[in-house]
Structure 1
Amino acid sequence: MHCESAAAIVIDYNLPLTAEEFSEKIIPMYQERWPQVKPLPGANRLIKHLHKHGIPLALASNSVRKNVQKKISYQQGWKESFSVILGGDEVNHGKPSPDIYLESAKMMGVDPSRCLVIEDSSVGIEAAKAAGMKVVAIPSIPFRGDDFGAANCVLYSLLEFLPDQWGLPAFQDWVQSTLPIEPFYVSGVLRDGDPHGTPILMEHLPEENQTAPLPIQTSGVFFGWAKLGTRGAFKVVASIQWDISPAGARKLIRPHVLAEISSDTAGEKLRLLFVGFIRKLHRERRAKEGSSTTSAVSEEDKSVAAAALDLPAFADHKGNPFLADPSNPLKAYS
């Protein structure tokens, strides 16, 4: 069954190697990194919310069951939240066959037509649709979102997911039009001398210190605190998205520091600590380039962020050691 899963991944992502070669290379790497893997933004929130309201949850993966159980053992509360955990080695055929989803529904005692699947791969979407289920796609490769047209809905972050749109209990955790999130950190350098909307050149923090790096599936308007050079900590709001061009794709962050800074800041180190989410980015269609996102932070976004950051839930993060003097080692924070 693992061979089927590996073959599907190789085909789905057009990898230049065989399924056997993929397995040989990737499995040891996976096992080594499982303890450090962070959930997608919004995953813990959604799982806790649905479990709290008694919504049956199933985890259906093409991976073998022992690997699935090992992976989720590092995520607090996940094992107890899923009433069904099913691996690809427990059904006759893995995704894109519907077997694993049909068996999951059977084990939960739910008709497949009443199931909602959240998927990140095209083979998974094909499997869920073949099982007669509704599908929300959150592409693992965001700039391939147009490949997920069979899904009922395509999102670019779990933070965009609204359960009440699917007949599930609504979230009740928004605070003054903002959503508190598990903090994540970004370090970069200003390209130009203006910290009010110009992109930053991202840096990768040392892995051993990167407690919450920027996840791939991060898209939208976020806010938090910024440390610019040796100056103090400022309020900041930013758009985060994938920038797609014929040359490839890259993560684009446009921070807006909510303060007047008169001196030239070109080339200065900028540390960003994001603690809240405001909204998803508006999407538009382009005839030649396919779907794209508009990255503009609005004046309303700035006002919402400025007010929210005065609330204790967000203001307390201003003292995070990550925002200390850049000369301090990054390992000072945890």
Structure 2
Amino acid sequence: MIFDLDGVIVDSEPVWEEVRRRYVAEHGGAWQPDSQRRLMGMSTGEWASYLSAELGVDRSPEQVATEVVDEMARRYLEHVPLIDGADRVVRELAANWPMGLASSSPARLIEAALRATGLTDVFAVTLSTEQVARGKPSPDVYLQVAERLGMAPERCVAIEDSSNGVRSASAAGTRVVAVPHASYPLDPDAERLAALVVPSIGELTAGTVRELVTPNG
């Protein structure tokens, strides 16, 4: 099992949007209607460059990355928004399969979120897209996590919420369970890539996963 973090375990996408929207406004940029959709899944370097070069922020990509992540870390110190039931689901699945985490968050925020939710010990492998060549929708992070788990991607099930995340996991060859956020619905092409779409992470069970990977029993 390979989990995404933001939007699957922690309801952080609205926090990321709020922080980056405010940052863009405070630094001379202009947020675009499709900005949040484009940003979801990008690695740290990719979204920092996007804010600097395409949204007109008057800071270098390096400054953007440092300052935005610092603000996210401050928010996490106050509160990590665990999605209801996510920790229970993660632990139930971990009792049945090796677990990996493939996240677009910087490593320091992954560590903070897992520590705050009590899930640090559950994942055998955790990896940020900042640690691979390309962020989502490229398959790099999923391929690396599967390799470090010692599993072929085709034998893995990925849990994702965003269109770019689904595209990334599907391109890696995994079977994808999509749990789209109500505020950020999947694009039609991404929804078609998912083997299963569930309305909330709390509805995902080990039995559901077994049916997905062995549909004929």
Asked if 1 retains the 8 angstrom alpha-carbon contact of 2:179 and 2:197, the reply is yes
Residues 21-60 of structure 1 aligned to structure 2 (within 5 Å): 23=65, 26-35=68-77, 36-53=79-96, 55-60=97-102
1:164 aligns with 2:207: yes
Question: Is 1:59–1:82's contact at 8 Å kept on the other side of the alignment?
Answer: yes
Deviations 1:69-105 (A, max 9, x none): 12211111x1110000111222121211111100100
C-alpha separation in 2, matches of 1:16 and 1:7? 9
Distance across 2 between alignment mates of 1:71 and 1:82: 13
| Equivalent position of 1:97 in the other structure | 138
Alignment partner of 1:79 is 2:120: yes
Q: Per the alignment, do residues 128 and 70 of structure 1 end up closer, same or farther by CA in structure 2, a change over 3 Å counting?
A: same
**Structure-2-length-normalised TM-score:** 0.64
The alpha carbon displacement at 1:45 in A equals 0.8
* % identity of equivalent residues: 30
State whether residues 5 and 94 of structure 1, in contact with CA within 8 Å, keep that contact through their aligned partners in structure 2. Answer: no
The residue aligned with 2:196 is 153
Q: 1:93/1:155 Cα in 2 relative to 1: closer, same or farther (>3 Å)?
A: same
SS in 2 for 1:144: coil
With over 3 angstroms needed to count, the CA separation of the structure-2 counterparts of 1:122 and 1:138, relative to structure 1, is same
Deviation per residue, 1:142-169 (Å, 9 max, x gap): 462454423222222112223323217x
* 1:176-226 Cα deviation digits (max 9, x unpaired): xxxxxxxxxxxxxxxxxxxxxxxxxxxxxxxxxxxxxxxxxxxxxxxxxxx
**2: CA distance, partners of 1:3 / 1:37:** 23
1:114-138 per-residue CA deviation (whole Å, 9 max, x = no partner) reads: 1111111111111101001111111
CA-CA distance at 1:23 after TM superposition: 4.5
Number of the residue aligned with 1:132: 173
Give the TM-score normalised by structure 1: 0.43
CA distance in 1, matches of 2:181, 2:56: 20
Aligned-partner Cα distance in 1 for 2:56–2:207: 42
Larger RCO, structure (CA 8 Å, separation 6 or more):
2
C-alpha RMSD over aligned residues: 2.7
Q: Distance between the aligned counterparts of 2:49 and 2:209, measured in 1?
A: 32
User: How far apart, in 2, do the equivalents of 1:120 and 1:165 lie?
Assistant: 17
- Map 1:230-269; keep pairs closer than 5 Å: none
Task: State how many pairs are aligned.
Answer: 161
Q: Which runs of 5+ in 1 are unaligned?
A: 169-334
Post-superposition offset of 1:62? 1.7
Which has more helix, going by share of residues?
2
C-alpha separation between the residues in 2 aligned to 1:119 and 1:133? Answer: 11
1:139–1:6: structure 2 CA closer, same or farther, 3 Å change rule?
farther
Instruction: Quickly say closer, same or farther: Cα 1:112–1:47, change in 2 above 3 A.
Output: same
Counterpart-to-counterpart distance in 2, 1:57 and 1:32:
28
SS in 1 for 2:199: coil
Q: Distance in 2 between matches of 1:80 and 1:57?
A: 10
Higher percent of residues as strand:
1
34-43 or 159-168: bigger deviation: 159-168
Assess if the C-alpha contact under 8 Å between 2:104 and 2:136 holds in 1.
yes
Paired AA for residue 127 in structure 2 = L
Which of 101, 104, 108 aligns to 1:62? It is: 104
Q: Distance in 2 between matches of 1:45 and 1:117?
A: 17
Check 1:125–1:143 CA distance in 2 against 1; reply closer, same or farther (3 A cut): closer
Amino acid at match of 2:153: P
Indicate how the Cα distance of structure 1 residues 24 and 43 shifts in structure 2: closer, same or farther if over 3 A, else same: same
Q: Distance in 2 between matches of 1:152 and 1:164?
A: 15
Long gaps (5+) in structure 2: 1-42, 212-217
